């Protein structure tokens, strides 16, 4: 019996990358709406962007298994996001109580999120009720479209809307950052000094870096590589290597300085770039740590919805880098 040659991993990775790039380009116009829907479901910017990325990843896989054309791409993406989020909420509830917890709101947080003042109702609802109210009342889906997105009947949606609209508003707790100020201050000092060796010394060998929606690196040795390393390019490369010309208008071509700020009781790092009309933020970075060593870094350079969300609340100037580094195919 003859042997079958195994496909090379590199060639498979290139095929997957090409499919992913094309998928991201196709659905790019729907990203702002998708983010706002995920933001309303999850109630914070970080979980919203995670849900967006998971929705796109699941959507790409699901799309490859479909025989029919997608008639309403917006509703289809919202359905993927809804299913992912509802499934996660159910799993969380099952973990809390195998017998099934009562349908009661979570304890409210002891602070107010100004941007969510119009959505205070949403925090008290069950997953199905929350999605129904958002789809129907906020994103203006019809009753039938809402039922299709949530894979149920118009009658069930009517009942969910009736229950949801009648509940009082409460707040959900938002996960707080645990990384110490000392670690972040050391990170900022080393970053602004362009001391890559000192930055690497702050990390574990297992530290990961994620450019959200673009790439993940495992270990600081890969982060510092001059060809592809995220840490190296953030420190030493101007944005011209990663941002399309139309989005870098006014940029002076320098490298960023980084600054620690507090966002919803969590420390975040703002990356400031010099522009002709003054400095602007082009990246928001989150850092995780254990025992004063950095365990993960997340760059939101290609997450313009998160940049708008965070910088809008902090009241700082910002610019979008788009959702991708590669040019749109004709």
Concatenated DSSP letters for 177-242? P---HHHHHHHHHHHHTT-HHHHHHTEEEEEEEEETTTEEEESHHHHT-TTT-HHHHHHH--GGGT
Average pLDDT over residues 240-257: 91
Residue 329 pLDDT > 80, yes or no? no
**pLDDT of res. 98:** 52
In which residue are the tokens 């993406």 written?
77
List the Cα angle 249/302/328 in 5-degree steps: 70
On whether residue 330 sits in a domain, the answer given is no
Q: What is the pLDDT of residue 114?
A: 33
Gap between the Cα atoms of 34 and 51, Å rounded? 9
Band the pLDDT of 121: cuts 50, 70, 90: very low
- Asked, for residue 325, whether it belongs to a domain, the answer is no
**Structural domain contains residue 328:** no
Q: Is the pLDDT of residue 97 over 80?
A: no
What is this structure's pTM? 0.76
Which pLDDT band holds residue 174 (cuts at 50, 70, 90)? very low
Per-residue pLDDT at 165 exceeds 90: no
Mean per-residue pLDDT, 269-285 = 97
Q: Which residue has the tokens 């993940």?
A: 216
Q: Which residues contact 124 (CB under 8 A, 6 or more apart)?
A: 105, 167, 168, 169, 170
Residue where a domain stops, chosen among 140, 165, 190 = 165
- Integer Cα distance of 257 and 192 in angstroms: 6
pLDDT of res. 104: 37
The C-alpha angle 242, 244, 245, rounded to 5 degrees, equals 120
Highest mean pLDDT among 88-92, 129-133, 177-181, 192-196: 192-196
Q: Is residue 302 part of a domain?
A: yes
Distance CA 150, CA 147 (A): 5
92 versus 257: the higher-pLDDT residue is: 257
Where does residue 322 fall: left (phi above 0), alpha (psi -120 to 50 degrees), or beta otherwise? Answer: left
Instruction: Name the domain count of the chain.
Output: 2
Q: Do 86 and 187 belong together in one domain? A: no
Residues 187 and 299 in one domain: yes
Same domain, residue pair 20 and 126: yes
Which residues 6+ apart lie within 8 Å of 147 measured at CB?
153, 154, 156, 157
Q: Which residues on adjacent β-strands are paired with residue 291? A: none
Mean pLDDT for the stretch of residues 294-317: 96
Confidence tier at 3 by pLDDT (50, 70, 90): low
308 in the same domain as 190: yes
Q: How confident is the model at residue 173 (pLDDT cuts 50, 70, 90)?
A: very low
| Residue 174 forms part of a structural domain | no
Do 153 and 196 fall into the same domain?
no
Q: 115 or 270: which carries more pLDDT confidence?
A: 270
Average pLDDT rounded to a whole number, residues 225-248: 91
The answer on 158 and 271 residing in a single domain is no
Do residue 123 and residue 68 come from a single domain?
yes
**Mean pLDDT over each residue of the chain, to the nearest integer:** 83
Same domain, 143 and 215: no
Which CATH number do you get for residue 109? 1.20.140.160
Identify the domain boundary among 115, 132, 165: 165
DSSP-derived secondary structure letter, 296:
E
Whether 320 is in a domain gets the answer no
CA distances 320 to 147, 243, 282, Å, are 35, 9, 6
Same domain, yes or no: 149 and 294 = no
Q: Whole domain around residue 297: which residue ranges?
A: 181-314
Lowest mean pLDDT segment, chosen from 18-27, 130-139, 313-322: 130-139
In a domain, 322, yes or no: no
With bands split at pLDDT 50, 70 and 90, how would you rate the model's confidence at 291?
confident
pLDDT higher than threshold 70 for residue 139: yes
Q: Are residues 23 and 125 in the same domain?
A: yes
Judge if 196 and 241 occupy the same domain.
yes
CATH number for the domain including 208?
Answer: 3.10.450.50
Whether residues 121 and 191 share a domain: the answer is no
DSSP character at residue 137: I
Among 130, 165, 200, where does a domain finish? 165
In a domain, 173, yes or no: no
Phi, psi of 138 (to 5 degrees): -100, -45
């Amino acid at each position: 019996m003859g042997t079958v040659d195994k496909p090379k991993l590199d060639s498979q990775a290139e095929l997957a990358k090409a499919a992913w790039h094309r998928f991201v380009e196709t659905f790019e116009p729907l990203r702002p709406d998708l983010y706002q829907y995920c933001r309303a479901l999850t109630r914070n910017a970080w979980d919203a962007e995670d849900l967006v990325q998971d929705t796109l990843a699941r959507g790409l896989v699901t799309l490859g298994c479909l025989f029919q054309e997608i008639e309403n791409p917006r509703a289809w993406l919202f359905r993927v996001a809804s299913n992912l989020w509802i499934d996660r909420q159910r799993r969380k509830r099952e973990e809390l109580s195998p017998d099934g917890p009562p349908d009661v709101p979570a304890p409210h947080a002891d602070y107010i999120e100004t941007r969510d003042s119009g959505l205070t109702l949403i925090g008290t609802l069950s997953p199905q009720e929350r999605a129904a109210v958002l789809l129907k009342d906020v994103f203006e889906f019809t009753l039938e479209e809402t039922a299709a997105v949530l894979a149920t009947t118009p009658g069930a949606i009517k009942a969910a809307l009736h229950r949801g609209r009648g509940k009082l508003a409460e707040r959900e707790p938002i996960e707080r950052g645990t990384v110490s100020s000392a670690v972040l201050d050391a990170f900022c000092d080393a970053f602004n000094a362009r001391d890559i060796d000192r930055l690497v010394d702050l990390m574990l060998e297992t530290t990961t870096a994620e450019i959200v929606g673009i790439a993940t690196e495992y270990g600081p040795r890969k982060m510092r590589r001059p060809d592809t390393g995220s840490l190296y390019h953030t420190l030493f490369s101007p944005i011209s290597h990663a941002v399309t010309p139309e989005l870098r208008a006014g940029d002076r071509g320098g490298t960023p300085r980084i600054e620690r700020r507090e966002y919803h009781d969590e420390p975040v790092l703002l990356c400031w770039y010099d522009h002709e009309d003054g400095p602007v933020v082009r990246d928001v970075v989150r850092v995780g740590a254990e025992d004063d060593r950095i365990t993960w870094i997340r760059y939101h350079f290609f997450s313009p919805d998160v940049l708008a969300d965070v910088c809008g609340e902090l009241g700082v100037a910002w610019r979008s880098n788009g959702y991708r580094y590669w040019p749109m195919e004709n």
